[in-house]
Amino acid sequence: MKKKPMWGKKTKLKSSYDVVIIGGGLHSLATAYYLATQHGITDIAIIEKNYIGFGGAGRNTAIVRANQRTQYNVPLYKEALDLWPVLTKELDYNLMFNNCGNLNLMHSEAAMKAARMTIATAQFHGVESHLIDSKEAKELVPALNISEDITFPIHGAMFHPPGGVVRHDAVVWGLAKGATQKGVEIHQQTEALGIGTKNGKVTSVTTDKGVINTKQVLVSAGGYSASLINGFLGIRLPISVLTIQAMVTQPIKPLLNHVVSSGAYHCYANQTLKGEIATGAHMDQWPNYTTLNTAHYIKHQAEALSEFLPSLRGLRFMRIWGGLADMTPDMAPIMDGNNQIEGFFMDCGWGYFGFKSCSAVGKYMAEFMASNTCPDMLKPFALKRYQEHKLMGETAALVSYSADN
Protein backbone atom coordinates (compact mmCIF):
# COMPACT_ATOMS: atom_id res chain seq x y z
CA MET A 1 0.00 0.00 0.00
CA LYS A 2 1.30 3.40 -0.92
CA LYS A 3 1.64 5.81 1.98
CA LYS A 4 0.07 9.22 1.53
CA PRO A 5 1.68 11.87 3.74
CA MET A 6 -0.74 13.57 6.11
CA TRP A 7 1.26 16.77 5.94
CA GLY A 8 4.43 18.28 4.38
CA LYS A 9 7.66 16.77 3.18
CA LYS A 10 10.66 15.78 5.27
CA THR A 11 13.33 18.49 5.18
CA LYS A 12 16.94 18.66 6.30
CA LEU A 13 17.64 20.43 9.57
CA LYS A 14 19.30 23.81 8.91
CA SER A 15 21.92 25.43 11.12
CA SER A 16 19.76 28.41 12.02
CA TYR A 17 16.10 29.38 12.37
CA ASP A 18 14.26 32.48 13.57
CA VAL A 19 12.32 30.38 16.05
CA VAL A 20 12.87 26.89 17.45
CA ILE A 21 9.99 25.12 19.18
CA ILE A 22 10.76 22.11 21.38
CA GLY A 23 7.96 19.57 21.40
CA GLY A 24 5.73 18.45 18.52
CA GLY A 25 2.40 18.58 20.29
CA LEU A 26 -0.63 20.75 19.76
CA HIS A 27 0.59 23.84 21.61
CA SER A 28 3.77 23.83 19.51
CA LEU A 29 1.96 23.18 16.22
CA ALA A 30 -0.68 25.83 16.95
CA THR A 31 1.95 28.42 17.93
CA ALA A 32 3.94 27.71 14.76
CA TYR A 33 0.76 27.85 12.68
CA TYR A 34 -0.24 31.26 14.05
CA LEU A 35 3.32 32.63 13.89
CA ALA A 36 3.32 31.74 10.19
CA THR A 37 -0.22 32.78 9.29
CA GLN A 38 -0.72 35.88 11.43
CA HIS A 39 2.76 37.25 11.98
CA GLY A 40 4.64 36.28 8.83
CA ILE A 41 7.30 34.37 10.78
CA THR A 42 7.86 31.17 8.83
CA ASP A 43 11.50 30.28 9.50
CA ILE A 44 10.52 27.92 12.30
CA ALA A 45 11.75 24.46 13.30
CA ILE A 46 9.60 22.23 15.48
CA ILE A 47 11.83 19.67 17.22
CA GLU A 48 10.09 16.48 18.28
CA LYS A 49 11.87 13.50 19.88
CA ASN A 50 9.24 10.97 18.81
CA TYR A 51 6.51 11.88 16.34
CA ILE A 52 3.98 14.71 16.32
CA GLY A 53 1.05 13.90 18.56
CA PHE A 54 3.02 11.27 20.52
CA GLY A 55 2.28 12.81 23.91
CA GLY A 56 -0.82 14.41 25.34
CA ALA A 57 -2.02 15.48 21.88
CA GLY A 58 -2.83 11.89 20.96
CA ARG A 59 -3.63 10.57 24.44
CA ASN A 60 -6.27 12.95 25.76
CA THR A 61 -9.95 12.02 25.67
CA ALA A 62 -10.76 14.78 23.16
CA ILE A 63 -13.10 16.74 25.43
CA VAL A 64 -13.34 20.51 24.99
CA ARG A 65 -15.17 22.97 27.24
CA ALA A 66 -15.04 26.47 28.66
CA ASN A 67 -16.62 26.12 32.10
CA GLN A 68 -13.51 26.66 34.22
CA ARG A 69 -13.56 28.50 37.50
CA THR A 70 -11.67 31.80 37.34
CA GLN A 71 -12.05 34.97 35.30
CA TYR A 72 -8.53 34.54 33.89
CA ASN A 73 -9.08 31.06 32.55
CA VAL A 74 -12.63 31.21 31.20
CA PRO A 75 -12.02 33.79 28.41
CA LEU A 76 -9.02 31.80 27.18
CA TYR A 77 -10.96 28.52 27.00
CA LYS A 78 -13.96 30.30 25.46
CA GLU A 79 -11.80 31.58 22.66
CA ALA A 80 -10.32 28.09 22.20
CA LEU A 81 -13.83 26.67 21.95
CA ASP A 82 -14.90 29.33 19.47
CA LEU A 83 -11.86 28.56 17.30
CA TRP A 84 -12.70 24.92 16.44
CA PRO A 85 -15.21 25.74 13.65
CA VAL A 86 -12.94 28.57 12.44
CA LEU A 87 -9.89 26.27 12.28
CA THR A 88 -11.89 23.55 10.55
CA LYS A 89 -12.52 25.99 7.68
CA GLU A 90 -9.12 27.69 7.77
CA LEU A 91 -7.18 24.41 7.74
CA ASP A 92 -9.62 22.78 5.31
CA TYR A 93 -9.45 19.78 7.58
CA ASN A 94 -12.40 18.11 9.27
CA LEU A 95 -11.65 18.40 12.99
CA MET A 96 -14.91 16.59 13.73
CA PHE A 97 -16.04 19.12 16.34
CA ASN A 98 -19.15 17.68 17.95
CA ASN A 99 -20.54 20.25 20.40
CA CYS A 100 -22.71 17.75 22.19
CA GLY A 101 -22.48 19.63 25.50
CA ASN A 102 -20.97 18.75 28.86
CA LEU A 103 -22.98 17.60 31.83
CA ASN A 104 -21.04 17.94 35.07
CA LEU A 105 -22.84 16.04 37.84
CA MET A 106 -23.09 17.48 41.35
CA HIS A 107 -23.49 15.14 44.28
CA SER A 108 -24.07 17.42 47.28
CA GLU A 109 -25.61 20.76 48.13
CA ALA A 110 -22.09 22.14 48.62
CA ALA A 111 -21.23 21.05 45.07
CA MET A 112 -24.41 22.70 43.77
CA LYS A 113 -23.37 25.91 45.50
CA ALA A 114 -19.91 25.76 43.93
CA ALA A 115 -21.54 25.12 40.55
CA ARG A 116 -23.65 28.28 40.95
CA MET A 117 -20.43 30.28 41.35
CA THR A 118 -18.81 28.64 38.32
CA ILE A 119 -21.94 29.19 36.24
CA ALA A 120 -22.11 32.85 37.26
CA THR A 121 -18.50 33.28 36.10
CA ALA A 122 -19.26 31.54 32.81
CA GLN A 123 -22.37 33.61 32.14
CA PHE A 124 -20.52 36.83 32.98
CA HIS A 125 -18.01 35.93 30.27
CA GLY A 126 -20.69 35.04 27.76
CA VAL A 127 -20.28 31.26 28.05
CA GLU A 128 -23.51 29.29 28.06
CA SER A 129 -23.80 27.26 31.27
CA HIS A 130 -26.84 26.37 33.39
CA LEU A 131 -27.62 24.72 36.67
CA ILE A 132 -30.19 21.95 36.30
CA ASP A 133 -31.75 19.54 38.80
CA SER A 134 -31.44 15.77 38.75
CA LYS A 135 -34.74 15.25 36.87
CA GLU A 136 -33.62 17.59 34.10
CA ALA A 137 -30.29 15.76 33.99
CA LYS A 138 -32.17 12.48 33.62
CA GLU A 139 -34.16 13.97 30.72
CA LEU A 140 -30.90 14.90 28.99
CA VAL A 141 -29.23 11.55 29.70
CA PRO A 142 -31.87 8.89 30.33
CA ALA A 143 -29.18 6.34 31.22
CA LEU A 144 -28.30 8.27 34.41
CA ASN A 145 -29.09 6.71 37.76
CA ILE A 146 -30.72 9.48 39.81
CA SER A 147 -31.92 7.21 42.60
CA GLU A 148 -30.84 8.01 46.13
CA ASP A 149 -29.40 4.62 46.95
CA ILE A 150 -26.03 5.02 45.24
CA THR A 151 -22.79 6.08 46.90
CA PHE A 152 -23.03 9.67 45.64
CA PRO A 153 -26.65 10.50 44.74
CA ILE A 154 -27.02 13.08 41.96
CA HIS A 155 -28.35 16.41 43.25
CA GLY A 156 -28.16 18.22 39.94
CA ALA A 157 -25.72 19.17 37.23
CA MET A 158 -23.91 21.98 35.52
CA PHE A 159 -24.93 21.84 31.85
CA HIS A 160 -22.57 23.50 29.39
CA PRO A 161 -24.07 23.08 25.89
CA PRO A 162 -21.25 24.60 23.74
CA GLY A 163 -18.62 22.09 24.90
CA GLY A 164 -18.13 18.68 23.41
CA VAL A 165 -15.56 16.59 21.62
CA VAL A 166 -12.97 17.31 18.92
CA ARG A 167 -11.01 14.61 17.09
CA HIS A 168 -7.54 15.16 18.55
CA ASP A 169 -5.50 13.43 15.83
CA ALA A 170 -7.24 15.52 13.19
CA VAL A 171 -6.13 18.68 15.01
CA VAL A 172 -2.53 17.41 15.02
CA TRP A 173 -2.56 16.62 11.30
CA GLY A 174 -4.57 19.71 10.35
CA LEU A 175 -2.26 22.11 12.17
CA ALA A 176 0.84 20.29 10.88
CA LYS A 177 -0.47 20.61 7.35
CA GLY A 178 -1.42 24.26 7.82
CA ALA A 179 1.94 25.16 9.35
CA THR A 180 4.13 23.25 6.88
CA GLN A 181 2.26 24.77 3.94
CA LYS A 182 3.48 28.14 5.17
CA GLY A 183 7.08 26.95 5.41
CA VAL A 184 7.33 25.71 9.00
CA GLU A 185 9.62 22.67 9.31
CA ILE A 186 8.69 19.76 11.54
CA HIS A 187 11.63 17.57 12.55
CA GLN A 188 10.50 14.31 14.06
CA GLN A 189 12.92 11.80 15.60
CA THR A 190 15.00 14.79 16.64
CA GLU A 191 15.79 15.19 20.30
CA ALA A 192 16.57 18.55 21.93
CA LEU A 193 19.62 18.18 24.17
CA GLY A 194 20.19 21.70 25.42
CA ILE A 195 19.54 25.42 25.07
CA GLY A 196 22.57 27.66 24.65
CA THR A 197 22.60 31.13 26.21
CA LYS A 198 25.06 34.00 26.27
CA ASN A 199 24.81 37.20 28.38
CA GLY A 200 21.27 36.30 29.41
CA LYS A 201 20.07 35.72 25.86
CA VAL A 202 19.13 32.56 23.99
CA THR A 203 21.65 31.76 21.26
CA SER A 204 21.12 28.16 20.20
CA VAL A 205 19.41 24.83 20.65
CA THR A 206 21.49 21.66 20.63
CA THR A 207 19.84 18.59 19.15
CA ASP A 208 21.02 15.07 18.36
CA LYS A 209 21.09 16.14 14.70
CA GLY A 210 23.28 19.19 15.30
CA VAL A 211 23.30 22.68 16.79
CA ILE A 212 20.73 25.23 15.64
CA ASN A 213 21.38 28.95 16.07
CA THR A 214 18.32 30.87 17.14
CA LYS A 215 17.32 33.88 19.18
CA GLN A 216 13.94 32.57 20.24
CA VAL A 217 13.05 29.20 21.67
CA LEU A 218 9.70 27.97 22.98
CA VAL A 219 9.47 24.90 25.18
CA SER A 220 5.95 23.51 24.95
CA ALA A 221 6.64 19.83 25.34
CA GLY A 222 3.63 18.95 27.48
CA GLY A 223 4.45 16.73 30.45
CA TYR A 224 8.13 16.68 29.52
CA SER A 225 8.52 20.49 29.67
CA ALA A 226 9.41 20.83 33.37
CA SER A 227 12.17 18.23 33.21
CA LEU A 228 13.60 19.76 30.00
CA ILE A 229 13.48 23.34 31.28
CA ASN A 230 15.20 22.41 34.54
CA GLY A 231 17.73 20.22 32.76
CA PHE A 232 18.59 22.79 30.06
CA LEU A 233 18.41 26.06 31.97
CA GLY A 234 18.22 25.19 35.68
CA ILE A 235 14.80 26.87 35.96
CA ARG A 236 12.72 24.96 38.49
CA LEU A 237 8.96 24.95 38.04
CA PRO A 238 6.06 24.33 40.44
CA ILE A 239 5.06 21.21 38.54
CA SER A 240 4.37 17.58 39.42
CA VAL A 241 4.21 15.22 36.44
CA LEU A 242 1.57 12.54 37.02
CA THR A 243 0.20 9.73 34.87
CA ILE A 244 -3.42 10.00 33.85
CA GLN A 245 -5.14 6.97 32.37
CA ALA A 246 -8.10 6.60 30.04
CA MET A 247 -9.90 3.69 28.42
CA VAL A 248 -12.64 2.75 25.98
CA THR A 249 -15.24 0.02 26.18
CA GLN A 250 -16.44 -2.17 23.36
CA PRO A 251 -18.79 -0.25 21.02
CA ILE A 252 -22.49 -0.15 21.86
CA LYS A 253 -25.60 1.43 20.37
CA PRO A 254 -26.05 5.20 20.87
CA LEU A 255 -26.57 5.83 24.59
CA LEU A 256 -24.73 8.99 25.64
CA ASN A 257 -25.25 12.15 23.63
CA HIS A 258 -23.39 14.39 26.10
CA VAL A 259 -20.06 14.29 27.87
CA VAL A 260 -20.96 13.28 31.44
CA SER A 261 -18.55 13.91 34.28
CA SER A 262 -18.61 13.55 38.02
CA GLY A 263 -16.23 15.07 40.53
CA ALA A 264 -17.37 12.87 43.40
CA TYR A 265 -16.99 9.62 41.44
CA HIS A 266 -13.81 10.91 39.79
CA CYS A 267 -15.06 9.75 36.43
CA TYR A 268 -16.08 11.15 33.07
CA ALA A 269 -17.53 9.41 30.06
CA ASN A 270 -18.67 10.14 26.54
CA GLN A 271 -19.62 7.98 23.61
CA THR A 272 -17.36 8.16 20.58
CA LEU A 273 -18.72 8.21 17.05
CA LYS A 274 -17.69 4.55 16.81
CA GLY A 275 -19.92 3.76 19.78
CA GLU A 276 -17.26 3.10 22.40
CA ILE A 277 -17.67 4.66 25.82
CA ALA A 278 -14.46 6.68 26.32
CA THR A 279 -13.82 7.18 30.00
CA GLY A 280 -11.17 8.46 32.32
CA ALA A 281 -10.68 9.90 35.75
CA HIS A 282 -8.20 11.31 38.19
CA MET A 283 -4.46 10.77 38.11
CA ASP A 284 -2.17 8.33 39.80
CA GLN A 285 -0.80 10.53 42.55
CA TRP A 286 2.92 10.08 42.33
CA PRO A 287 5.18 11.81 39.80
CA ASN A 288 6.50 9.60 37.05
CA TYR A 289 7.24 9.59 33.35
CA THR A 290 5.78 6.21 32.50
CA THR A 291 2.51 5.93 30.64
CA LEU A 292 1.69 2.55 32.13
CA ASN A 293 -1.71 1.37 33.28
CA THR A 294 -2.99 -0.13 36.51
CA ALA A 295 -5.61 -2.71 37.41
CA HIS A 296 -6.52 -0.38 40.30
CA TYR A 297 -7.66 2.20 37.79
CA ILE A 298 -9.74 -0.15 35.64
CA LYS A 299 -11.52 -1.34 38.79
CA HIS A 300 -12.22 2.22 39.86
CA GLN A 301 -13.70 3.12 36.45
CA ALA A 302 -15.89 0.04 36.42
CA GLU A 303 -17.18 0.77 39.93
CA ALA A 304 -17.92 4.43 39.21
CA LEU A 305 -19.57 3.89 35.83
CA SER A 306 -21.73 1.01 36.99
CA GLU A 307 -23.16 3.22 39.73
CA PHE A 308 -24.17 6.36 37.88
CA LEU A 309 -24.61 4.76 34.44
CA PRO A 310 -25.82 1.30 35.50
CA SER A 311 -26.73 0.19 31.98
CA LEU A 312 -22.99 -0.05 31.28
CA ARG A 313 -22.61 -2.94 33.73
CA GLY A 314 -21.07 -5.97 32.10
CA LEU A 315 -19.47 -4.02 29.24
CA ARG A 316 -15.90 -4.93 28.45
CA PHE A 317 -13.02 -2.49 28.33
CA MET A 318 -11.28 -2.78 25.01
CA ARG A 319 -8.27 -0.51 25.30
CA ILE A 320 -6.55 1.40 28.08
CA TRP A 321 -3.73 3.90 27.82
CA GLY A 322 -1.91 6.54 29.82
CA GLY A 323 -0.46 9.99 29.29
CA LEU A 324 1.33 12.61 31.33
CA ALA A 325 -0.27 15.56 33.09
CA ASP A 326 2.03 18.31 34.40
CA MET A 327 0.07 19.60 37.36
CA THR A 328 0.64 22.96 39.03
CA PRO A 329 -0.49 23.79 42.59
CA ASP A 330 -3.27 26.09 41.33
CA MET A 331 -4.36 23.94 38.39
CA ALA A 332 -3.55 26.76 35.98
CA PRO A 333 -0.79 26.79 33.35
CA ILE A 334 2.48 28.68 33.19
CA MET A 335 3.00 30.85 30.13
CA ASP A 336 5.96 33.13 30.28
CA GLY A 337 8.67 34.61 28.06
CA ASN A 338 11.71 36.89 28.11
CA ASN A 339 11.42 37.01 31.91
CA GLN A 340 14.01 34.43 32.94
CA ILE A 341 16.21 34.60 29.84
CA GLU A 342 15.75 36.85 26.82
CA GLY A 343 14.31 34.83 23.98
CA PHE A 344 13.21 31.91 26.15
CA PHE A 345 9.49 31.18 26.19
CA MET A 346 7.61 28.45 27.99
CA ASP A 347 4.08 27.15 27.74
CA CYS A 348 3.52 24.32 30.21
CA GLY A 349 1.81 23.21 33.41
CA TRP A 350 -1.40 22.50 31.56
CA GLY A 351 -2.12 19.33 33.48
CA TYR A 352 -5.02 17.70 31.68
CA PHE A 353 -6.21 20.97 30.06
CA GLY A 354 -3.68 21.15 27.24
CA PHE A 355 -5.96 19.86 24.52
CA LYS A 356 -8.94 22.13 25.22
CA SER A 357 -6.73 25.21 25.23
CA CYS A 358 -4.33 24.60 22.34
CA SER A 359 -6.06 26.65 19.63
CA ALA A 360 -6.31 29.90 21.61
CA VAL A 361 -2.96 29.46 23.34
CA GLY A 362 -1.20 28.98 20.00
CA LYS A 363 -2.66 32.27 18.85
CA TYR A 364 -1.58 34.20 21.96
CA MET A 365 1.85 32.57 22.32
CA ALA A 366 2.48 33.48 18.67
CA GLU A 367 1.53 37.08 19.39
CA PHE A 368 3.79 37.02 22.48
CA MET A 369 6.79 35.69 20.51
CA ALA A 370 6.28 37.88 17.45
CA SER A 371 5.89 41.14 19.38
CA ASN A 372 8.06 40.24 22.41
CA THR A 373 5.24 41.74 24.48
CA CYS A 374 3.01 39.60 26.65
CA PRO A 375 -0.64 39.86 25.51
CA ASP A 376 -3.05 40.88 28.31
CA MET A 377 -4.74 37.50 28.05
CA LEU A 378 -1.55 35.68 29.13
CA LYS A 379 -0.28 38.14 31.77
CA PRO A 380 -1.89 36.39 34.78
CA PHE A 381 -0.13 33.13 33.87
CA ALA A 382 3.47 34.26 34.45
CA LEU A 383 5.73 32.13 36.65
CA LYS A 384 6.24 34.91 39.19
CA ARG A 385 2.66 34.55 40.44
CA TYR A 386 3.82 31.75 42.76
CA GLN A 387 6.36 34.04 44.39
CA GLU A 388 3.76 36.78 44.76
CA HIS A 389 1.23 34.36 46.28
CA LYS A 390 -1.16 35.11 43.43
CA LEU A 391 -2.17 31.51 42.86
CA MET A 392 -5.30 31.06 40.78
CA GLY A 393 -8.40 29.53 42.25
CA GLU A 394 -8.89 26.78 39.70
CA THR A 395 -8.70 24.07 42.37
CA ALA A 396 -12.47 24.28 42.86
CA ALA A 397 -12.71 20.51 42.54
CA LEU A 398 -11.14 20.14 46.00
CA VAL A 399 -8.85 17.42 44.80
CA SER A 400 -5.21 17.45 45.72
CA TYR A 401 -3.34 16.53 42.59
CA SER A 402 0.09 17.73 43.45
CA ALA A 403 2.04 16.72 46.48
CA ASP A 404 2.64 20.40 47.12
CA ASN A 405 -0.88 21.57 47.71
Partner 1 sequence: MALTITCPVCGKRNGYEFRYGGEEKGPRPEEKDMTPETWCDYVHMNNCVAGVQQEWWFHRDGCGSWFTISRDTTTNLEQEAQVAPNQEAINDEQV
Which of these ranges, 176-184, 208-216, 222-230, 258-266, lies near partner 1 under the rule CB under 8 A? 222-230
Least distance in angstroms from the C-beta of 285 to partner 1: 6
Q: How many whole angstroms separate alpha carbon 189 and alpha carbon 15?
A: 17
Which one of residues 329, 333, 343, 362 is an interface residue with partner 1 (CB under 8 A)?
A: 329
How many Cβ atoms sit within 10 Å of the Cβ of residue 336? Answer: 24
Min. distance of Cβ 340 from partner 1 in angstroms? 13
Q: For strands 63-64 and 44-47, give the pairing.
A: unpaired
Residue of 236, 313, 379, 390 interacting with partner 1 (CB under 8 A): 236
> What would the DSSP string read from start to end of 372-398?
SS--GGGGGG-GGGTTTT-----GGG-
* 3-state SS, residue 262: strand
Binders of partner 1: how many residues, by CB under 8 A?
31
Question: Is residue 362 within a helix (H) or strand (E), and if so which, with residue range?
Answer: helix 354-371
> Which member of 52, 237, 312, 331 binds partner 1 (CB under 8 A)?
237
In terms of residues, how long is the chain?
A: 405
User: Roughly how many angstroms between the first and final C-alpha of the chain, as a whole number?
Assistant: 52
Listed residue (345, 321, 322) closest to 28, CA to CA: 345
Are the C-beta atoms of residues 226 and 273 closer than 8 Å to each other? no
Q: Which is nearer to partner 1, 237 or 277 (CB)?
A: 237
Closer Cβ to partner 1, 224 or 350, answer by number: 224
- Please report whether residue 371 would count as binding partner 1 according to CB under 8 A: no
Between 120 and 403, name the residue whose CB sits nearer to partner 1.
403
* Residue closer to partner 1 (CB basis): 157 or 320: 320
Q: Which of residues 242-301 bind partner 1 (CB under 8 A)?
A: 243, 284-290, 292-294, 296
Q: Which of 92, 139, 303, 404 binds partner 1 (CB under 8 A)?
A: 404
Q: Which of 31, 7, 27 has the alpha carbon at shortest distance from 18?
A: 31
Q: Residue numbers of the site for partner 1 (CB under 8 A)?
A: 224, 226-227, 230, 236-241, 243, 284-290, 292-294, 296, 322, 326, 329, 386-389, 403-404
